């Protein structure tokens, strides 16, 4: 319950304050969102598996976001930014899919 | 392949299992539960990230959409205007052809003929080229600077009167266009003397003086030679030593005359005038035939 309330509070803060993201960081926002989603679904699965650990979740979330953004930044500098973005999205997307499939097995036993 | 299998089969961070095993080893439950403040902070951060991303990435959409709509509107407007213009072109073209049919097919030919006759158009054709130059030794001036004070050299220089007589004789002999040193003679041309220099169309000429005329190659040279101009030319050569050279040429090209526009002279009843002056008469009366007040 506490995480859901925290999530709603965070969304409310973002919607009402509408903070300005620096222009240089804007290209990394979609990647950061996907990396965060990956961490969230991994955490949900861990909760259902009964092995959730908040420290692991925080570290995996931060490292996911930072590494994904760094890969895209590196790709931009090397001139292959769009290709590396695609790669990151594919990897994280596959992970999200299989985590969601595992969650579904837990919840619906199907 | 290993990479893909690893990705597909072990999507969960192995850190969870490792940490759970370590906690079980120390006697704690494998899961830390969802009540830790660290997780609450993390959830706030997550929500913030999602909402900020959504707000930021959607903020530019209305501007983009309005720009796109404006561009589409512009394209449509330009396309309809282009369609309208092409319809206009069609009607104007049919109007032009109707007007052409009304006024006869040869209107354009008549216009070109009139322009060629009046000097408004550059022309080319067979003709006669007469080159005049001062007698040897007569080109220089005297010590007092006036060539006409010296009787010995006075006749040896080409004067404006010579050019006038020759051009008049050329018109008389049937020349259709006359040019002096590149200056086409028109209805507004004058051949004058100003001090030492001969002026044609208000431009000073340099020697040698080249008088070109376009006309019937069969009759023009003979008619000119038989006219007073021909004998005058002969007299210039034999009496004053002026160098005269007359050659028939297959092709003489003349530019259009300069300054043909009139500002004070208005056409009399344009419609009637254009109807009556369709056939260009032989240019017998040109201003060059009237002597200007320039005789020395």
**What pLDDT is attached to residue B269?**
67
Asked if residues B118 and B255 have their Cβ atoms less than 8 Å apart, the reply is no
> Which DSSP string corresponds to A24-88?
GGGGGHHHHHHHHHHHHHHHHHHHHHT---HHHHHHHHHHHHHHHHHHHHHHHHHT-HHHHHHHH
At residue A20, the pLDDT reads: 83
Instruction: Select from B7, B16, B50 the Cβ nearest to the Cβ of A52.
Output: B16
pLDDT above 60: residue B145: no
Residue positions counted in chain A: 110
Report pLDDT for B279.
46
- Using alpha carbons, select from B203, B194, B183 the residue that is nearest to residue B160: B194
CB contact under 8 A, A19 and B52: yes
pLDDT tens-digit series, residues B34-58: 778 888 888 888 898 888 888 888 8
pLDDT, greater one: B138 or A36: A36
Q: Which domain holds residue B43?
A: 33-102
ipTM: 0.85
Q: Does residue B264 form part of some domain?
A: no
- B254 and B128 share one domain: yes
Looking at the structure, do residues B89 and B43 belong to the same domain, yes or no?
yes
pLDDT in tens, A12-55: 998 888 888 888 888 888 888 998 998 888 888 888 888 888 88
Q: Please indicate, yes or no, if residue B65 is contained in any of the structural domains.
A: yes
- Give the CATH number, domain containing residue B184: 3.30.70.1880
Q: Which residues pair with B130 in a beta bridge?
A: B211, B246
Residue B271 in 3-state DSSP?
Answer: helix
DSSP B29-53: -S---S--HHHHHHHHHHHHHHHHH
On the question of pLDDT at B117 being above 80, the answer is: no
End-to-end CA distance of chain A: 26
- B208 and B134: one domain? yes
Mean pLDDT for B85-110 is 82
Q: What is the pLDDT of residues B120-131, one digit of tens each?
A: 778 888 988 988
- pLDDT of res. B295: 41
Which spans in chain B are helix H? Answer: 2-9, 14-25, 37-59, 61-103, 107-118, 151-154, 160-172, 220-226, 228-240, 270-276
Please report whether residue B227 resides in a domain.
yes
Whether B287 contacts B190, CB under 8 Å: yes
Same domain, B122 and B242: yes
Instruction: Give the residue, B101 or B105, on which the prediction is more confident.
Output: B101
What string of DSSP letters covers B74-125?
A: HHHHHHHHHHHHHHHHHHHHHHHHHHHHHH-TTHHHHHHHHHHHHTSS-EEE
Could you tell me if B47 and B123 lie in one domain? no
Residue B138 is predicted with a pLDDT of 56
Q: Among residues of chain B, what percentage have pLDDT more than 90? A: 8
Residue B81 lies in a domain: yes
pLDDT, tens digit (0-9, with 9 covering 90-100), for B236-287: 888 888 888 888 888 888 888 776 777 788 778 655 545 554 444 444 444 4
Q: Cα separations (Å) of B278 from B108, B176, B226?
A: 11, 17, 32
A29, B64, B69, B82, B188 from B77: Cα distances, Å: 38, 20, 12, 9, 51
- The reply to whether B85 falls in a domain is yes
Nearest to B211 by CA among B245, B251, B261, B259: B245
Rounded CA-CA distance B240/B157 in Å is 8
Task: Please compute the mean of the pLDDT values over residues B182-198 and round it to a whole number.
Answer: 82
**How many CB pairs lie under 8 A apart between chains A and B?**
150
* Residue B128 near residue B212, CB atoms below 8 Å: yes
Q: Is residue B240 part of a domain?
A: yes
Query: Would B77 be classed as within a structural domain?
Result: yes
Please tell me whether residues B177 and B233 are part of one structural domain: yes
Chain B residues with beta carbon closer than 8 angstroms to that of A51: 16-17, 19-20, 30-31
Residue B129 carries which DSSP code?
E
| Residue B161 three-state SS | helix
For residue B296, tell me if it sits in a domain: no
**Residue B80 pLDDT greater than 50, yes or no:** yes
Contacts of A101 (CB under 8 A, 6+ apart): none
> Which residues of chain B does A95 touch, with a Cβ-Cβ cutoff of 8 Å?
7, 11
Cα(B255)–Cα(B113) distance, rounded to whole angstroms? 15
**Taking 90 as the threshold, does the pLDDT of residue B85 lie above it?**
yes
Point out the least confidently predicted range of A31-35, B108-112, B141-145, B187-191.
B141-145
- Regarding whether B17 and B85 lie in a shared domain, the answer is no
pLDDT of residue B287: 44
Is the pLDDT assigned to residue B112 strictly greater than 80?
no
Query: What was the pLDDT predicted at A17?
Result: 86
Q: What value does the mean pLDDT take over residues B59-66?
A: 80
Whether the pTM exceeds 0.80: the reply is: no
**DSSP code, position B61:** H
Whether pLDDT at B288 is above 60? no
Q: Mean of the pLDDT values across residues A74-85?
A: 87
CA B167 and chain centroid, separation: 32
Bridge partners, residue B124, by sequence: B253
State residue B143 phi and psi, 5-degree precision.
-65, -30
The pLDDT, as a whole number, for residue B77 is 95
Predicted pLDDT of residue B88: 93
Whether B82 contacts chain A with CB within 8 A: no
The pLDDT tens digits of the residues spanning B198-247 come to 888 878 888 788 999 998 888 888 888 888 888 888 888 888 888 888 88
From the list A45, A49, A54, the residue facing B38 with the nearest CB is: A54
Higher-confidence residue of B196 and B105: namely B196
pLDDT band at B150 (very low <50, low <70, confident <90, very high): very low
Residue contact B42–A6, C-beta within 8 A? yes
Average pLDDT (B11-26) is 80
Same domain, B53 and B167: no
CB-CB under 8 Å, A50 with B16: no
> How many folded domains does chain B comprise?
3
Do residues B293 and B160 make contact, with C-beta atoms less than 8 angstroms apart?
no
Domain coordinates of chain A in residue numbers?
Answer: 26-108
Q: Which chain A residues have a beta carbon less than 8 Å from that of B47? A: 6-14
Looking at the fold, whether B249 and B180 belong to one and the same domain comes out as yes
Same domain (yes/no): B215, B125: yes
CA-based nearest residue to B50, from A79, A65, A84, A45: A65
Q: What is the mean pLDDT of chain B?
A: 78
């Amino acid at each position: 319950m506490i995480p859901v309330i925290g999530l709603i509070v965070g969304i409310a803060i973002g919607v009402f304050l509408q903070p300005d993201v620096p222009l240089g960081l804007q290209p990394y926002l979609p990647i950061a969102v996907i990396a965060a989603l990956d961490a969230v679904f991994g955490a949900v699965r861990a909760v259902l598996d009964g092995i959730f650990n908040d420290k692991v979740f925080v570290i995996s979330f931060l490292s996911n976001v930072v590494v994904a953004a760094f890969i895209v930044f590196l790709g931009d500098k090397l001139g292959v930014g769009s290709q590396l973005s695609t790669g990151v999205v594919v990897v994280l997307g596959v992970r999200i899919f299989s985590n969601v499939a595992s969650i579904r097995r837990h919840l619906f036993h199907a | 392949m290993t990479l893909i299998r690893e990705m597909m089969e072990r999507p969960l961070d192995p850190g969870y299992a490792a940490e759970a095993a370590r906690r079980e080893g120390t006697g704690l439950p494998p899961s830390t539960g969802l009540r830790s403040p660290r997780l609450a902070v993390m959830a706030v951060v997550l929500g913030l990230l999602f909402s900020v991303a959504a707000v930021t990435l959607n903020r530019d959409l209305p501007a983009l959409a309005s720009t796109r709509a404006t561009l589409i509107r512009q394209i449509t407007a330009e396309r309809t205007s282009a369609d309208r213009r092409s319809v206009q072109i069609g009607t104007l073209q049919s109007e032009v052809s109707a007007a052409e049919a009304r006024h006869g097919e040869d209107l354009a030919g008549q216009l070109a003929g009139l322009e060629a006759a009046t000097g408004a158009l550059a022309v080319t054709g067979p003709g006669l080229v007469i080159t005049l130059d001062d007698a040897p030794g007569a080109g220089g001036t005297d010590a007092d600077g006036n060539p006409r004070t010296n009787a010995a050299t006075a006749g040896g220089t080409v004067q404006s009167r010579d050019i006038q007589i020759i051009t008049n004789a050329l018109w008389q002999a049937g020349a259709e266009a006359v040019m002096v040193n590149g200056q086409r003679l028109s209805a507004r041309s004058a051949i004058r003397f100003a001090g030492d220099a001969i002026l044609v169309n208000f431009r000073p000429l340099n020697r040698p003086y080249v008088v070109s005329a376009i006309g019937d190659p069969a009759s023009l040279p003979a008619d000119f030679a038989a006219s007073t101009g021909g004998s005058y030319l002969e007299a210039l050569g034999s009496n004053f030593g002026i160098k005269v050279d007359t050659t028939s040429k297959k092709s003489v090209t003349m530019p259009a005359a300069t300054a043909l526009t009139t500002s004070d002279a208005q056409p009399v009843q344009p419609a009637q005038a254009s109807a009556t002056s369709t056939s260009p008469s032989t240019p017998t009366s040109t201003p060059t035939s009237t002597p200007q007040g320039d005789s020395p």
